[in-house]
Amino acid sequence: MIGSNMRILIIGASSFIGSHLIQKLEDLNEINQITFTYFSNKYFPGQENNAKLLSLKCDVRNIQDIELVIDKSHPDVIIFMASTRYFPPPLNINDHEDINIKGLKNLIDSLDKLEKKPRLIFANSGAAKLTKKNMKINNSELDNYTLSKIKASKLFNSNKTTKNFNGTEVRLFTPYGPKDHEYRLIQSSVIKIIKGEYPILRNPNSVRDYIYVEDVVDAFIKIIFSNQNYENIIEIGSSNPTSTKAITEKIYSMMDVNREIEIYESSDEEQILYMKADLSDAKEYLDWAPKINLDEGIYNTVKWIKENYKVFY
């Protein structure tokens, strides 16, 4: 039901973006219940103490887990955020296939059994847009992570027709901000500097499309309340790509670091060379555009890390 007593299920929401989205949804009177799932025991404390929230453990590789979560939450909207990471890679290389593709298929198959079909928002990665042209791979194959994201996109959009469910794919490019993982570029760099160490860049010329987490959350809110099934894929980024080296330079400036950025002699090891979001559909359908520029976003993130890293990380 859109407008009042809405029930939302977020699958894979116990981490970075999910924690921000949950916090925003908690404050909305139109949302009656928020169910979020986690895989490991590491999820943000305090969320489970709100009567509006229900947290459930779920392994998306197990279709019975997904069916149980849907049965308990009775959602009007489902957001599928479960995903593996690109770097550092997971210990089990099969996770890309099992979580990014089979996990999504398990959800789609579970929805196929329901008489009432909730709207499905699939949070995919901007990596699903990558081709050999913007990756340094020449004639070799795309890496397993990127392939899994491309295949998941094809699976989602083909099943929208064959299994007749309402769904929108959202491609997130490079979200950043408070509560991000400690291995991400900004977090790891700031923490090293606080400890008197300094980052050493492996991929100074890798160009990514950084988008502040609050802008990402605003886009999800707009999609949730639009009550629409968008045929086009909605890309969420800044559309202003920036190199790893430029990001590090901004961090050094904000933290008053007076030294040259160190670069591994064997640099540019990463396959992804360039990423940029196309915001035309987000602007047309959602009236969405990023509000927080890169300097403000990095400043907010650096400030938060300095104040919270001992407790959070």
In this structure, how many other beta carbons lie within 10 angstroms of the beta carbon of residue 93? 13
Is 52:33 a contact under the CB 8 Å cutoff?
A: yes
Nearest alpha-carbon partner for 174 in 86, 62, 251:
86
- 286, amino acid identity: L
Instruction: Take residue 196 and report the two structure tokens written for it.
Output: 């008197």
pLDDT score of 87:
81
Between strands 207-208 and 6-11, the pairing is: unpaired
268 vs 227: CA distance, rounded Å: 43
Strands (E), the chain: 6-11, 31-38, 53-57, 77-80, 119-125, 167-172, 174-176, 200-201, 207-208, 210-212, 234-236, 242-243, 262-263
Q: Using one digit for the tens of pLDDT, what is the confidence trace for 105-132?
A: 999 999 988 877 899 999 999 999 987 5
For the entire predicted model, the pTM comes to 0.92
Between helix 103-112 and helix 144-162 the angle, nearest 10°, is 10
Rg (CA), the chain: 19
Cis before 199 (ω within 30)? no
Contacts of 116 (CB under 8 A, 6+ apart): none
Give pLDDT, residue 5: 86
Q: Cβ contacts of residue 291 below 8 Å, gap of 6+? A: 214, 215, 218
User: In this structure, what token pair is assigned to residue 220?
Assistant: 């999800």
- Bridge partner residues of 55 (DSSP): 36
Q: What digits encode the pLDDT tens for the residues 189-205?
A: 999 999 999 999 988 88
Structure letter (DSSP) for residue 101: I
Contact 263, 201 (CB under 8 A): yes
The stretches in the chain having pLDDT less than 50 are: 1, 45, 138-139
Token pair for 169: 């794919």
